[in-house]
Chains A and B, each alone.
Chain A
Amino acid sequence: MDDLDADTIGEVLRVTDSFAEVGRRANPKVPALRGRTVATLFFEDSTRTRMSFETAAKRMSADVLSFAAGSSSVKKGESLRDTIETIQAIGMDAVIIRHASSGVPARVAEWVDHCAVVNAGDGWHQHPTQALLDLYTVRQSLGGGQEGTDRFDGLRVTIVGDIRHSRVARSQITAYAALGAEVTLVAPATLLPPSLEGWPIAGVRHDLDGVLATTDVVSLLRLQAERGSGAYVPTMREYSAGYSLTARRALQLPPEAIILHPGPMVRGVEIASEVAELPSARITDQVGNGVAVRMAVLFLLLGQGSLEGEAA
């Protein structure tokens, strides 16, 4: 995500518009990636992200291979590098990688020659397509035009929750900041990264109540109990009392503000059930937009040149 500047993000969002239109058709399929083969390599379970990527690739007529680490030779002790080289030898145009360890997509990109590498989430590090789909969802909600990335300038974005262990937060912060938004982080000190040196943020708060009235976009993060986040706060109840977006807190938001959550939601912990159902909560939109954004990303990586105009 660090490598994406505002212009590139703007281009992704514009291309996403075209593919969002494809998704609304009766037959939502285009030949943009016909003859191309992409593989999803999920070394960490994620049904949602995998389905989103695979749907995106299939809507563009790519052949999709699905590699689940649990059922593969990885279980037999094959090294990551050997796995990647095998997959490349089979002949992939792109590999979409999810891994529990930060940095794996970056390493894989160094090992492969003729194959695009898409990061579908690595450790605590980055989840770029999630950030891009958030931006797309926000842009949609702001009612901007086709070119509307300028709408992000000065937008007040509040990211709440387990930022320390969140690849989503790291990607969001970079993406929002690249477009000029003012990002405020809200979390207990134990759930912040050890250092925020050099992070493009407007500030850090430890009280959600203090910022909601001046927030345009509130982005909630899941408390990642499976990563041991539970030990970073005394109890879930205490965390929820301070940081859950309750119905009472949602009322403090300005009327135009929107609520985002990357999913899966833990209702009652970071978001109250009734808040998730509010019109300002765009959580379902995020999922739908995810497919279109991932189509755009795959198209920009694989479909350039030869398929000019075909997507639109």
Chain B
Amino acid sequence: MSVHPELLIRGGTVVDATGERRADVRVVDGVVVDVAEGLEAPPQGTVLDAGGCLVAPGLVDLHTHLREPGREEAETIESGTRAAALGGFTAVVAMPNTDPPLDSAESVRNVFALAEGAMAQVAVAGAITVGRSGERLAPMAELAALGVHLFTDDGDGVQSAGLMRRALQYATGLGVVLGQHCEDRSLADGGSMHEGAWSSRLGLPGMPSEAEEVMVARDIALARATGGRVHFLHLSTAGSIDLVRRARADGVPVTAEVAPHHFTLTDRYVAGYDPVFKVNPPLRPQEDVDAVKAALADGTADAIATDHAPHAPELKDLPFDQAPPGMLGLQTALALAVTELDLPPARLLALLSWQPAAIAGLDPVHGGDQGGPVAPGAVANLCVVDPMATWTVDPTALASRSRNTPYAGRTLTGRVRHTVLAGEPVVIDAEAQR
């Protein structure tokens, strides 16, 4: 930060939860000091041009697989947070399915230590159960004391309804949120794509929509009964969306995220058997894609979360049914939202920044520095987005250690121009600064 004591973001439109206005943003020592039109350039310091751009709180990803520790050939905290910064994210929630899993204070402290100096804030989602094995509760209070706000066994759903109920009861006393990867294993096990017309034709074992939906329905009932907060990860079916919509109308304390690939790709992309299109939950038919878009439009979905899941190339060269599921997402999420969703910029940024920040407990309300209004006194976690710029996705140009983007060669509209992390311009003109 010392090299960037002062920063002026000039000529843009500031967009945050309070609204939109034409304003320059002046940052001193990592803190926003002035938001107004026609600010003077600092005699010493950096000026970032934001002409034609939106200046917003930094994006917050609720769902990032950083792979470190354990799978550093696929991604590290360093490479993953560089990808995050290039994608406009100033904070990511690291998923706990690492090796070892993030189910103890020691493993969480280790990630925090590894993330010091990273190009984005790394928050940690703790495991709900020890070893993510679904058998007994992880020490949630110990993890909460370290600042863990979201807990999940992501990669797996908590199969036992009894254990999930107990976890929710316990969570109410801690004020934390339980994220559920909704997948009933008895229905989905062995499946490698959505079960339907395409899986039948391609001869691939399928994962039916109801594998997700029965767990959504179950957890709504459990949230209603316990008052525990459930956050649904990467919802992908029309039925799930419908269940959540009705639960929220009833006042049940649930939130939901959706992933960009679930509003941009359908299961027909699997027809060439390329495992780059294998993901869990799987790509679904068009009617589900439409339902996911509708959920974003009507507020049933609170957040767009990337489910950034890097995999080494040799794993994605396996036969489709043997390859691991997952897609890169950090550097394409915002552009896919701009390109594919017919929503005003302020809505898109709400879904990518302040709403997920609140769910993750990283917003000012929870004592954090993410997603808050761009106003004097706020820590300068910001992104500057050019909503009109077009660019073509080149897998080899991505910052991730892996290449498994399903959007190779696609031209997208909307580009992150600058990212500012606690006052430091970590990305300038779409180039990482370190």
Interface residue ranges, A against B (CB under 8 Å): 79-81, 99, 101-104, 106-107, 110, 122-126, 167, 170, 193-199
Contact = CB atoms under 8 A, between A and B. Distances in A.
Given A101-B320, A123-B203, A194-B195, A106 B272 contact: yes
Nearest to A167: B203
Nearest to B270: A103
A85 to B, nearest CB: 11
A107 B203 contact: no
B197 A198 contact: yes
B38 interface: no
B391 interface: no
30 contacts: A80-B319, A81-B314, A81-B317, A101-B319, A102-B202, A102-B273, A102-B320, A103-B202, A103-B272, A103-B273, A103-B320, A104-B273, A106-B273, A107-B272, A107-B273, A107-B319, A124-B203, A124-B204, A124-B205, A125-B204, A193-B201, A194-B199, A195-B197, A195-B199, A195-B200, A197-B197, A197-B200, A198-B197, A198-B201, A199-B200
Nearest to B320: A103
A124 B195 CA distance: 14
B161 interface: no
Contact of A170 (B196, B203, B319, B320): B203
Given A102-B321, A194-B195, A194-B206, A107 B274 contact: yes
B318 interface: yes
Interface of B: 195-197, 199-206, 208, 272-274, 314, 317-322
B237 to A, nearest CB: 15
A102 B272 contact: no
Contacts of A196: 200
Chain B at the A interface: SS class: loop
Given A102-B202, A124-B204, A194-B196, A79 B318 contact: yes
Contacts of A122: 203
Chain A at the B interface: SS class: loop
A200 to B, nearest CB: 11
B85 to A, nearest CB: 32
A65 B298 CA distance: 61
Query: Which among A103, A104, A199 has the highest number of chain B CB atoms within 10 Å?
Result: A103
Nearest to B195: A194
Instruction: Return the 7 tightest CB-CB contacts between A and B, nearest first.
Output: A103-B273, A125-B203, A101-B319, A124-B203, A193-B200, A197-B197, A102-B203
Contacts of A195: 195-197, 199-200
Contacts of B206: 194
A123 B196 contact: no
Contacts of B202: 102-103, 125
B322 A101 contact: yes
A199 B203 CA distance: 13
B152 to A, nearest CB: 29
Nearest to A193: B200
Contacts of B320: 101-103, 107
B204 A194 contact: no
Contact of A123 (B197, B201, B274, B321): B321
Contacts of B318: 79-80
Contacts of A81: 314, 317
B37 to A, nearest CB: 55
